[in-house]
Amino acid sequence: MESAVLKGRSLWDDARRRLLRNRAAVTSMVVLALLVVVAVVGPYLAPFPFDQINKNDVWMKPLTGGHLLGSDALGRDLLARLMIGLRVSLAVGVVATFVSLVIGVIWGAAAGYIGGRADEIMMRVVDILYSLPFIFFVILLMVTFGRNFILMFLAIGAVEWLTMARIVRGQTLSLKQREFIEAARAAGLSRRAIVARHIVPNLLGPVVVYVTLTIPGVILAESFLSFLGLGVQEPMTSLGSLISKGAQDMELAPWLLIFPSIVMVVTLMAFNFIGDGLRDAIDPKDR
Amino acid sequence: MLRFLLRRLLIAIPTMFIVVTLAFFMMRAAPGSPFVNERHLSPEVEANVMAKYGMDRPLVVQYANYVGGVLHGDLGPSLKYKDKTVLRIISEGFPNSLLIGGMAMGIAVILGVSLGVIGALRQNGPADYTAMGVAVLGVCIPTFVTAPMLVLLFASNLGVLPTGGWPTATQPFSSAWRYFVLPVVVLSLPQIAIISRLTRAGMIEVLRSNYVRTARAKGLPEHSIVLRHALRGAILPLVSYLGPATAGVITGSLVVERIFSLPGIGKAFVASALMRDYTVVMGVVILYAGLILFLNLVADVLYAALDPRVRLS
């Protein structure tokens, strides 16, 4: 246990120092930054638009015909498609995670802080939702409402908020007992002010960790849907639908499977290492 | 104990009810109908077909009928396969899924626990890093990447294993096992990863605990300390992982059964969802929701049996 004097800013300084000493996490951050830049800027610099069909360039091997990573059955440039797919996957990951973050933090903090019957009921709702086979409902949703981009964000986000709510509630319950909350209450702050000013900022640690671990989970979920043919629609693409297409044509054109798979795995690994690094840095007793 | 079981059942009932309701109304809200793909039906014929399945009645009546049927264990007829009931489709596919999933979980538990224990005993040594490296890879490489990659390597290039398919009923196990290898490996990899991480973390914590120190002080041999005393405490987190693990294997089986074209329930589910075979989709969702609920309950009971500090109330 650190003494109370060490809390506040220095806790975060400590965390940053620990994080920067973690080689896997730092490498992952660099890799991830590169991937984000490629996903955002890359498609504008690519020699081919991602949806341009080139009848003469069908099944080009990598490094031939100006296609650095080869081309697919319609002669579309794999590099350009890969960059767009990465962009879509990252966007789905970030947006859906944000949805889950907002719902989860509000729900969990409210349940934990209000306590009593409200807590009981709110957490029972989480328990019930938790035991539903959610992937089936996401599949049903996609079937029901067509392959709608925004809906996919919402559906996946709505699935992922449950764990967030549980983490936030647990943390809130333990924070509630602490002296500084007592002090805030004694100073006459309103409930809402206490939650907003004192509880939520102190939840940041575990929430940040969980967010970095949720993003790859969401990317995975989206890819999973795309793989089953329920994700984004052609000519738009994502890492999952690229892998799905690649798997169909792998005997003929293995590069269509291999490159998207590599990008997918590297992305997921980077997020996981950063998440683990953050957890070790923020909560050193969990090591 | 009895009160605990009763209370859990009381939660399970509304949960199942929500599952049935959500599944019913979501399926009905979907555009398209199960009869759309059939050769141009005249409006009269279509009306007749709809009437045959009671689909001309108000939605609420259909819903009530469906729930009534489910309560009697009747999941209705398939809308696509004229001569099959939903129960028949499930009973044809589910055993195959169960076989593959069960083998995958068995292997995952054995390998995952071993890797985790080795990692914890040789903490920060080369064995630990290898084990944890495998674990990280297992978590980060999704089934829909491992499956085609392994097919490419072992089936297409090396030709030692079949690319997919299912042995015939009469085939002896000595040749049938080849069909199971790749699906089981693909399904178990992510589970091995998670289980080994859980075991390692649990083991490290337990090895520091007082009762393990007591066991050491008594002069017990190391293998007895690890296997008889520490392991029992260390696998507790695993028990509560049982429910989520089942969900994970089921989800994975959707991909695996599709890639390896196995005649399982996951493949039937995806196909039915795309074909709007309402009753089959709902039946599978109900089956899996019930299965997950049941295994969560088993996990809780097991947990209490293994950990005397936990009292079910």
Query: Does position B202 have pLDDT exceeding 60, yes or no?
Result: yes
Decide: residue B61, CB within 10 A, 0-12 exposed, 13-18 middle, 19+ buried: exposed
Inspect the interface and report whether the beta carbons of A229 and B274 lie closer than 8 Å. Answer: yes
Inspect the interface and report whether the beta carbons of B258 and A228 lie closer than 8 Å. Answer: yes
Predicted complex ipTM? 0.73
For residue B172, the distance in angstroms to the closest alpha carbon of chain A comes to 30
CB nearest A131 (choices: B15, B23, B254)? B15
C-alpha pair distances (Å), B245 with each of A239, B192, B286, B291: 25, 10, 18, 12
Inspect the interface and report whether the beta carbons of B144 and A141 lie closer than 8 Å. Answer: no
Q: Which residue is it, tokens 């493949």?
A: B267
CB of A164 within 8 Å of any CB in chain B? no
pTM above 0.90, yes or no: no
State the average pLDDT over residues B282-303: 82
Q: Which two tokens stand for residue B232?
A: 């029992």
CB of A215 within 8 Å of any CB in chain B? no
State the average pLDDT over residues B106-124: 86
Query: Does position B310 have pLDDT exceeding 70, yes or no?
Result: no
CB nearest B29 (choices: A132, A135, A144)? A144
Q: Which two tokens stand for residue A31?
A: 């890799």
pLDDT at B107: 92
| Tens-digit pLDDT profile for residues B252-261 | 888 888 888 8
The class that CATH gives domain A13-43+67-286 is mainly alpha
For residue B293, give the chain A residue with the closest CA: A131
Region of residue B124 (left: phi > 0; alpha: psi -120 to 50; beta: else): left
pLDDT at A2: 47
Whether the CB-CB separation of A15 and A281 falls below 8 Å is answered with yes
pLDDT at A1: 46
User: Which of the two residues, A64 and B38, has the higher pLDDT score?
Assistant: A64
Query: Does position B182 have pLDDT exceeding 50, yes or no?
Result: yes
**Tens place of pLDDT for every residue, chain A, 287 residues?**
445 554 455 567 777 888 888 888 888 999 999 999 988 888 787 777 777 777 777 777 777 777 777 777 776 878 888 888 899 899 888 888 888 888 888 888 888 888 788 888 888 888 777 766 677 777 777 777 766 777 777 777 777 888 888 888 888 888 888 888 888 888 888 888 887 788 777 777 778 888 888 888 888 888 888 887 777 777 788 888 888 888 888 778 888 888 889 999 999 989 888 888 887 777 655 44
pLDDT at A286: 45
How do the domains of chain A map onto residue ranges? 13-43+67-286
User: Which of the two residues, B46 and A116, has the higher pLDDT score?
Assistant: A116
A244: Cα within 13 Å, side-chain hemisphere: 22
Look at residues B79, B68, B97 and name the one whose alpha carbon lies nearest to residue B28: B79
pLDDT at B305: 77
Of A27, A124, A143, A259, which to mutate for an interface test with B (greatest number of B Cβ within 10 Å)?
Answer: A143
Inspect the interface and report whether the beta carbons of B284 and A136 lie closer than 8 Å. Answer: yes
Q: Which residue is it, tokens 């195959």?
A: B96
Q: Which two tokens stand for residue B33?
A: 């109908």
pLDDT at A5: 53
**Predicted confidence band of residue B156 (pLDDT cuts 50, 70, 90):** confident
User: Which of the two residues, B185 and B127, has the higher pLDDT score?
Assistant: B185
Inspect the interface and report whether the beta carbons of B27 and A140 lie closer than 8 Å. Answer: yes
| Tens-digit pLDDT profile for residues B47-100 | 777 777 777 777 888 888 888 888 887 877 887 777 788 888 888 888 888 888
DSSP state of B125: S
Instruction: Give one DSSP letter per residue of A151-191, joined into a string.
Output: HHHHHHHHHHHHHHHHHHHHHHHHHHTSHHHHHHHHTT--H
Whether the CB-CB separation of B91 and B283 falls below 8 Å is answered with no
pLDDT at A8: 52
